[in-house]
Structure 1
């Protein structure tokens, strides 16, 4: 009896084992729900920590550094230009239009304008108010001889100018200049060394006369409407004579 009972029990156990294995084969083992929830929570936690760290770093790098006064310090690209050592402000950009410079030649009527007397005939003396009397006493036709560089030998004229002092003070003639301009061209005639001329003396005493002789290269076809200017000094008016040289 005992052996028969044991055999039945073994057979029942074997059937139960076979049934269990069949059930297990038909229904694969599932992962416990608590394990899935725990894994998802862990992943979410890692992602959240990563986002938080990244956002925190972005805020630190983007936030402006407070200056000691509490205001935000400007970046290098927005920095204001430093003032010059003298404290002067920077010049404004040029508009491309330059300011006109004052003319070196004085306009007529201005305080610096040189007084010029009306031209007189070649044979007429000019009397300066409260000053001397100036006259072209003679004009001779000569043959000029070049001596200095730039001079040209050829037809020339020799002009004699006389200055009479009618004042009570000596008149300085150290800067006196005589110039001749050709007739048709209006060009300034070149001086010639020979035949020798005669410079004015350094001064002319009251009541006395002073003479100067000047030689100019002048072709014969340029002796119509010539102009002779006598410039005694910058403080005296410019004296001019005009006419034909025969």
Structure 2
């Protein structure tokens, strides 16, 4: 006849083995979870720091830097045109022109002469002597020291070189309201290219040029 203790012994062994297996499974599960957290991008400060990409600022390219795109020639030409002073619509050589602010001008005469160059860079030769008048129709004194006069000739509007001839007498001084002043300008112009000449007169900076055009042949 067997003892009761001997019948219960195998059951205790199985129970202990089952508890040991459960504990082992729990330890493995905890180990896997801990390793999984360490592998996540935000699992630790070091992982977070290494996973955050650094912000890189692209260097700006200046006009002279390699790879910088230069201003197209067409845009450069347009910018040069935009920098030119404004001009009124041209009138005939024998007609008065208005600047639009009360100042008017006329071409009193255009004479063909044999210009005499004085000083360095002046070459004697065929020239046109242009006599101009300016009338101050404003209420203020007009400073004639800022008057600019130029002349082009031919269908290609070739700029004529000013000539410091003896008769050269540009505008100077000041002009009272209602008064008229006269100025004389000489330009070197070939005799065979006087079919079209254009005289431009600006009386102050920023004011539109008064323009005269016609034949001086």
TM-score (norm: length of structure 2): 0.64
- Is 1:215 the counterpart of 2:190? The answer is no
Residue pair 1:195, 1:215 contacting (<8 A) in 2 also = no
**Equivalent pairs, count:** 165
RMSD: 3.2
Q: Following the alignment from structure 2 to structure 1, what is the Cα–Cα distance between the partners of residues 174 and 166?
A: 24
Which structure shows the higher strand fraction? 2
Higher RCO (CA-CA < 8 Å; seq separation 6+): 2
Counterpart for residue 51 of structure 1: none
Equivalent position of 2:141 in the other structure: 170
Q: Is the 8 A contact 1:201 1:210 kept in 2?
A: no
Gaps of 5+ in 2: 1-44
User: What is the distance in 2 between the residues matched to 1:95 and 1:192?
Assistant: 46
From 115, 126, 149, the counterpart of 2:97? 126
Distance in 2 (CA, whole Å) between partners of 1:193 and 1:177 is 15
Question: 2:80 maps to which residue?
Answer: 105
1:50-107: CA deviation from partner (whole Å, max 9, x where unpaired)? xxxxxxxxxxxxxxxxxxx867xx9xxxxx99x9xxxxx4516889351638754364
Q: How does 1:6-85 map to 2 (within 5 A)?
A: none
**What's the counterpart of residue 91 of structure 1?**
59
Provide TM-score, normalisation by structure 1: 0.57
- How far apart are 1:162 and its partner, in Å? 0.3
Give 1:201 deviation, angstroms.
1.8
Could you say which structure has the larger radius of gyration?
Answer: 1
Query: Which blocks of at least 5 consecutive residues in structure 1 are unaligned?
Result: 1-68, 75-79, 84-88
Aligned to 2:38: none
Q: Is the alpha carbon distance of 1:240 and 1:205 closer, same or farther for their aligned partners in structure 2, counting shifts above 3 Å?
A: same
The Cα shift of 1:145 comes to 1.3
Secondary structure (helix, strand or coil) at the match of 1:105 reads helix
